[in-house]
Structure 1
Amino acid sequence: MEVLGACPLDCPDACSWVVTVADDGRAVELRGNKHHPVTRGALCVKVNRYLEQVDSPDRIRYPMRRVGRKGEGRFERITWDEALDEIAERLTGIVDEDGGEAIWPFHGTGSLGYLQGLEGLSGRRFFNVLGASLHDPTICSISGSLGLKYTLGTSGGMDPEDFPQSKLIILWGTNPLTTGHHVWKFIQDSGAYLVAIDPVRSRTADRCDEHLAPLPGTDAALALGLMHVIVSLGAEDREYLAEHTEGWPQFRERLAEYPPDRVAEITGLPAERIFALGERIARTRPTAIRASQGMQRHAGGGMALRTLACLPGVTGDWGIPGGGLHYSTSGHFRLNESALARFDLLPHPVRTLSMTRLSEGLLEAKDPPVRALFVIAANPVASNPDQSTVIRGLSREDLFTVVLEHFPTDTVDYADIVLPATMQPEHLDVVAAYGNMYLAWNEPAVDPPGECLSTTETFRRLARHMGLTEPSLYDSDEDLARQLLEGHDLDRLRREGFLRVEPQPVPAGKLQFVSARAAAAGHDALPTYIPPADTGDGLVLISAASHYFVNSSFGSNPELRRRAGEPQVTIHPGDAAERGIADGAKILVYNERGAFEAIALVSDRVRPGVAATTKGRWMRFSHGPTVNATIAERDSDFGGGAVYHDNRIHITLR
């Protein structure tokens, strides 16, 4: 039997897949859906091992209660009734004493499913009835999304299926061959001239015609400089600017402040290369830009995306098929998310706690303090900034922590109760891509192992144990899907496995070079350059996505860990020589926040002044802290986003 499903992981592609189930009920094969226009039958190196994960001997199959100290990872098996009774008793006491806001439902991107994962904030109805704090998932893409909305009125960008019409494609701060390789097929089909802009010469940059390596966090200055060149050549699209934009005269004055010589000083790029790329953009229609989350993870990250979205406005590419900017397609989907979350069930307005600032919330929140933490599809010990302080917050003996998980992660070690969660072939879900225009349906293919329950069923049972009477808390998964997909052809989606959603117009109205919304929020009304916040001595450390992990997912897979090798930090030969570091040396990477150990990889794949490593490592397999020990828990400019790439460090021999 073949069952249609979809990948739930934090990747733009949301691949449609096919699970082959043997007569004995076991899933024996997983392959990409060859009928899906983006998946085209291929999965990535990570997801090719997904069934191996599902059947892993390390899988958590039964509820557990902590018996050791927090952090020791010692648990005893208990029944579901025991687990739910204890949770219900603790939550009831917390609500009675401090109110529901003392409860923090902490959702991560381990699943982007609308029913079981982050996109629908699974369990939110339950938490709303209790009056729990809201969770703001700020870690991923919020800064860039807000930046795009200031300029375009939407966070939706161009359809990647238009890339074959492009003549010039700029891959700006993105490495799709590692982080969502299906878009590469459309890029290849274009025959376009390819430019990579990235401080690191990535797998993708190797395949491009040209690579520029600016200093991290200077992307907005580079974009302003390129637009300066275009205007200096008289190549701006005056008709498009007059008819489809607002604030062009003021923005043109801003561009005059960023000639190539000044931009060269800011970015560390030669002025002649800035001019040459600006000239190429000026003469090439259509030009497309593919950007992703990495470039907005610094102090001025939101402003960088806001500024970059202006470039196709200056050239008129927003009005040409195959032109524009592709960051995320999420803004194009019109799903009834409010029907899932049911914020109307909140008894009163409640506070919002930031995902990026977990340790601050656990250690500093007052009126009330956070007394209960539910961790859902997340591994914050491995993924959040300021690792050591996060651990200190999770180590509070008075914090009641419940973790819904598949594997014994670093975060599970700090749980009071661990609940075994189903994986994607074992439950119903709906997934929307953020890198293409397709919804995908995930039909359960096999029975869960042991006593694993879906997230939706877990909260239905917990509601019963607490005696909650709100009827919507007991809606079935099919009911939830029907409410979410109101206005869409659910029957066709379930039958065919995927459904294309037509993109909305971009920009949504006139492109805003001058943004009243930005000004009202306290930002510059015009796009500008905001320098990195972490300045001074040392190297800038980039912690980009690994080719073998999706954030921290697959971080426990033995084969993928073998392929990834030991943690490495890539250092430019000049920087290595100054520090007496040879290729292969054991090094200590540190700053005032923390330190981690790694192996030095001396290579010109990074530019001088920059070091590079990958995220997603677990402490238990790294034998100590990971890169996030060095990263500050502070906000980017828009929306409180994370600043993983705004990070100065020092390196010494170990």
Structure 2
Amino acid sequence: MSEIRRSVCALDCPDCCSLLVTLENGRATKLRGNPAHPVTRGFLCGKVAQYLEREYSPGRLLYPRRRAGPKGEGRFERISWDEAFDTIARRLKSVAQEFGSEAILPYSYAGTMGLLNGSGMDRRFFHRLGASRLDRTICSAAGGAGLTEALGLRYGTEPEQFRHSRLILAWGANILGTNVHLWPFVMEARRNGARLYTIDPYRNRTGAASDKHFFINPGSDTALALAMMHVILGEGLHDADYVARHTEGIDALRERVRDWTPQRAAGLTGLQAEEIVSLAREYATTRPAAIRLNYGTQRSERGAMAVRTIALLPALTGSWKDVGGGLQLSVSQAFQLNRAGLERADLQQQALGRAARLVNMSELGGALTRMVGPPVKALVVYNSNPAAIAPNQNAVLEGFRRDDLFTVVLEQFQNDTADYADILLPVTTFLEHTDLYYAYGHYYLQLARPALPPPGEARSNVDIFRQLAARMGFDDPCFRDSEDDMIRTLLDSPHPFVRGITLEELDRCGSVRLRLPEPFLPFAEGGFGTDNGKCHFHAETLDYTPPVESRHGDTDLRRKYPLELISPKNDDSMNSTFGHRDAVDLQTAILHLNAADAAGLGIRTSDQVRVSNGRGSCVLMARVDDTVRAGVVAAPSVRWGKRSPGKRNVNALTSERLTDAGGGATFYSCLVQVERIGD
């Protein structure tokens, strides 16, 4: 018997697709995009189109396990859920009693974008326990800080409006690889005469398909944006009326950018001064012009400033007034749900009488090897694979190997982090549990019910933390909430964007657009999230300093490690989620080099190369091409370390240095040397 059920893709992607699952006799046989969803529009990316292979993979974890060998070897024995829960509760109680509850650290990120399984019962559990809080910074914190500083709110242009654009700047945005459901709107705009330009140190598929590609040096985006402002203001190309009515600080901005000539920026960005002038003029005089800014831009040491400066451009040109204008980085703040009621941070008061300490997830290596007061003695990992994705990998793995660290891992597959678990718990996929989803690339709230039963004894994160709360003796009523109770709590918000949306409506429709005007032009009439509703240029703090690890940074480091490494997202993976696939493994084993650098190093395509710096090394396969300029190398990520030579991936090279604001990871500020490995 055949039937079709709705679901929602939970992967960390702005598209947050609506899915249709075809079942034959209870088994899923087909997964496709929902044609009724205004953004998904009936198709899926290549990653999720193959998701049923993951769903039914023989590598799925099916039963609780206990470590049966040295940490890192990945040898386990099967145990019951009762034994797993009792062991975890006993060890957590012991750690809390001996070292204090802040010696326990949760570690999670966006393995699911579902609110219940990503930040629901788990947050309640750790708040009630009094565990250390995790500052979840690793992906987007610098961008969020920069966008908030510029606009006051994390709103942006609706994806559907890009079809009306006449000029689209994909700034650090690989639309085809990481935001593919925006692409049809971009192509519709191009058929109507729009131009697509990419600004990126790596020419990905989007760059190759663009009308122009600007090979900018890594981490120099702020210099380009300041020089564009210099041209726009110097030539009077700004929207004087919009600036007068809806911004503050234009005179100070004009003074600040006076010295940021295109010639000065050219020396820092690697672009020609004429290119910068032309880009600035075209952006300022084309209406509507939209910027699709993405998170690669903010993964450098000055990433927050880069996002902030770029995000000021639409206010300078008045682009926010136009359908098909403005900028999109994230629209997540429009989902004004009752997150406080879901997460219950107030429960910390019962355990500690105060808020617990905050540990930055981008500094996990240091937290596990150097932190005191108290040291981390128990680690609970879910929705993340830090052994593969966290920076300063050697320090992270040193911490994981500690015999005195009790580690619990909730996973679907036995990835790098799972190999270090003391207790390994099997969890459901997004096709197997109920959840509520917001998006950061569109304005549709979505509900998913289970389309399939869990395999083996897999349980949802919600159920696992609910059961652990009972084992710990937490009798607060919130730990007895059902999934529907939690969703109703989230929807209990007075904000006009979500007011009136009900669980019943979501059950009936699957996806519901936020209560927004159509079209939604968030800043057409000001309305910025500032004290007076105006965009504040704050010119006195706008500035650019090259990252320490860059061609214009620390001279001694540059002599020793002459190449700038970036590790952009692989088109066919999702961070490390699909690292079990052979095809993904091959694609994340590559280092792209420019022909000039390769010739100087005696490297040819398919050579094995060692990439190294003072933090570590990894082995990759060279690909000599024109996707990077001289002085830059690119390693699409993230490969599982256990499938790599030396059991290290590119994050053996990245540092724990943080961004200028937001405390984000600086994956793209990384100097290395490359050498060919002999025959």
* TM-score clears 0.5: yes
The letter of the residue matching 1:578 is: G
Maintained 8 Å contact 1:224/1:255: yes
* Identical-pair percentage: 45
In the aligned structure 2, how far is the partner of 1:122 from the partner of 1:44?
A: 30
Question: In the alignment, which residue of structure 2 is the partner of 1:476?
Answer: 482
The letter of the residue matching 2:619 is: E
Question: In the alignment, which residue of structure 2 is the partner of 1:143?
Answer: 142
Unaligned 5+ runs, structure 2:
493-498
Deviation, 1:504, is: 7.8
Question: In the alignment, which residue of structure 1 is the partner of 2:403?
Answer: 397
Deviation, 1:619, is: 1.2
Deviation, 1:557, is: 2.1
Maintained 8 Å contact 2:587/2:636: no
1:236 aligns with 2:238: yes
1:448 aligns with 2:447: no
The letter of the residue matching 2:157 is: M
1:224 aligns with 2:220: no
Deviation, 1:493, is: 1.4
Question: In the alignment, which residue of structure 1 is the partner of 2:14?
Answer: 12
Deviation, 1:287, is: 1.1
Deviation, 1:560, is: 4.2
Question: In the alignment, which residue of structure 2 is the partner of 1:128?
Answer: 127
Deviation string, structure 1 residues 184-233 (Cα, Å, up to 9, x no partner): 11111222111110111110011111111010000000011111111222
Deviation, 1:427, is: 0.4
In the aligned structure 1, how far is the partner of 2:147 from the partner of 2:76?
A: 46
1:628 aligns with 2:651: yes
**Which 4+ runs in 1 deviate beyond 4 A?**
none
In the aligned structure 1, how far is the partner of 2:676 from the partner of 2:572?
A: 27
Deviates more, 1:157-166 or 1:537-546: 157-166
Question: In the alignment, which residue of structure 1 is the partner of 2:495?
Answer: none
Structure 1 residues 128, 566: CA separation in 2 closer, same or farther (over 3 Å shift)? closer
Maintained 8 Å contact 1:442/1:497: yes
In the aligned structure 1, how far is the partner of 2:594 from the partner of 2:587?
A: 20
Maintained 8 Å contact 2:121/2:466: no
User: What pairs with 1:83-102 in structure 2 (closer than 5 Å)?
Assistant: 83-102=84-103
Question: In the alignment, which residue of structure 2 is the partner of 1:45?
Answer: 46
Question: In the alignment, which residue of structure 2 is the partner of 1:159?
Answer: 158
Give 3-state SS (helix, strand or coil) of 2:21's partner.
strand
Question: In the alignment, which residue of structure 1 is the partner of 2:195?
Answer: 193
Maintained 8 Å contact 1:384/1:390: yes
In the aligned structure 1, how far is the partner of 2:588 from the partner of 2:412?
A: 24
Question: In the alignment, which residue of structure 2 is the partner of 1:519?
Answer: none
Maintained 8 Å contact 1:224/1:307: yes
Question: In the alignment, which residue of structure 2 is the partner of 1:208?
Answer: 210
Question: In the alignment, which residue of structure 1 is the partner of 2:522?
Answer: 505
In the aligned structure 1, how far is the partner of 2:298 from the partner of 2:240?
A: 29
Deviates more, 1:442-451 or 1:312-321: 312-321
Question: In the alignment, which residue of structure 1 is the partner of 2:543?
Answer: 528
In the aligned structure 2, how far is the partner of 1:302 from the partner of 1:187?
A: 26
Question: In the alignment, which residue of structure 2 is the partner of 1:581?
Answer: 603
Question: In the alignment, which residue of structure 1 is the partner of 2:32?
Answer: 31
The letter of the residue matching 1:150 is: E
Give 3-state SS (helix, strand or coil) of 1:436's partner.
coil
Give 3-state SS (helix, strand or coil) of 1:650's partner.
strand
Q: Which of 566, 570, 577 pairs up with 1:553?
A: 577
Question: In the alignment, which residue of structure 1 is the partner of 2:496?
Answer: none
1:611 aligns with 2:626: no
Give 3-state SS (helix, strand or coil) of 1:403's partner.
strand
TM-score by length of 1: 0.96
Maintained 8 Å contact 2:300/2:666: yes
Deviation string, structure 1 residues 532-562 (Cα, Å, up to 9, x no partner): 121323111110000111000011023544x
User: What pairs with 1:294-333 in structure 2 (closer than 5 Å)?
Assistant: 294-333=296-335
Question: In the alignment, which residue of structure 2 is the partner of 1:384?
Answer: 390
In the aligned structure 2, how far is the partner of 1:511 from the partner of 1:466?
A: 49
1:648 aligns with 2:650: no
Deviation, 1:106, is: 0.6
Question: In the alignment, which residue of structure 1 is the partner of 2:567?
Answer: 543
Structure 1 residues 504, 485: CA separation in 2 closer, same or farther (over 3 Å shift)? farther
Question: In the alignment, which residue of structure 2 is the partner of 1:248?
Answer: 250
Question: In the alignment, which residue of structure 1 is the partner of 2:172?
Answer: 173
In the aligned structure 2, how far is the partner of 1:583 from the partner of 1:447?
A: 46
In the aligned structure 2, how far is the partner of 1:575 from the partner of 1:558?
A: 29
> RMSD value over aligned CA atoms?
1.3
In the aligned structure 2, how far is the partner of 1:464 from the partner of 1:279?
A: 63
The letter of the residue matching 1:210 is: K
In the aligned structure 1, how far is the partner of 2:633 from the partner of 2:584?
A: 23
Maintained 8 Å contact 1:303/1:530: no
Question: In the alignment, which residue of structure 2 is the partner of 1:518?
Answer: none
Q: Which of 16, 21, 24 pairs up with 2:23?
A: 21
Give 3-state SS (helix, strand or coil) of 2:94's partner.
helix
Give 3-state SS (helix, strand or coil) of 1:129's partner.
helix
Deviation, 1:121, is: 5.1
The letter of the residue matching 1:242 is: A
Question: In the alignment, which residue of structure 2 is the partner of 1:80?
Answer: 81
In the aligned structure 2, how far is the partner of 1:599 from the partner of 1:311?
A: 40
Deviation string, structure 1 residues 140-181 (Cα, Å, up to 9, x no partner): 111011111111111222212211221111000110101120
The letter of the residue matching 1:133 is: S
Question: In the alignment, which residue of structure 1 is the partner of 2:111?
Answer: 110
In the aligned structure 2, how far is the partner of 1:542 from the partner of 1:124?
A: 33
Question: In the alignment, which residue of structure 2 is the partner of 1:522?
Answer: none
Give 3-state SS (helix, strand or coil) of 2:266's partner.
helix
Maintained 8 Å contact 2:62/2:456: yes
Deviation, 1:565, is: 4.0
In the aligned structure 2, how far is the partner of 1:129 from the partner of 1:475?
A: 15
Deviation string, structure 1 residues 499-535 (Cα, Å, up to 9, x no partner): 11135833332111018xxxxxxxxx43221311213
In the aligned structure 1, how far is the partner of 2:295 from the partner of 2:7?
A: 26
User: What pairs with 1:265-276 in structure 2 (closer than 5 Å)?
Assistant: 265-276=267-278
The letter of the residue matching 1:457 is: D
Unaligned 5+ runs, structure 1:
516-524
Deviates more, 1:356-365 or 1:81-90: 356-365
Maintained 8 Å contact 1:230/1:281: no
In the aligned structure 1, how far is the partner of 2:47 from the partner of 2:434?
A: 22
Question: In the alignment, which residue of structure 2 is the partner of 1:259?
Answer: 261
Question: In the alignment, which residue of structure 2 is the partner of 1:592?
Answer: 614
The letter of the residue matching 1:600 is: A
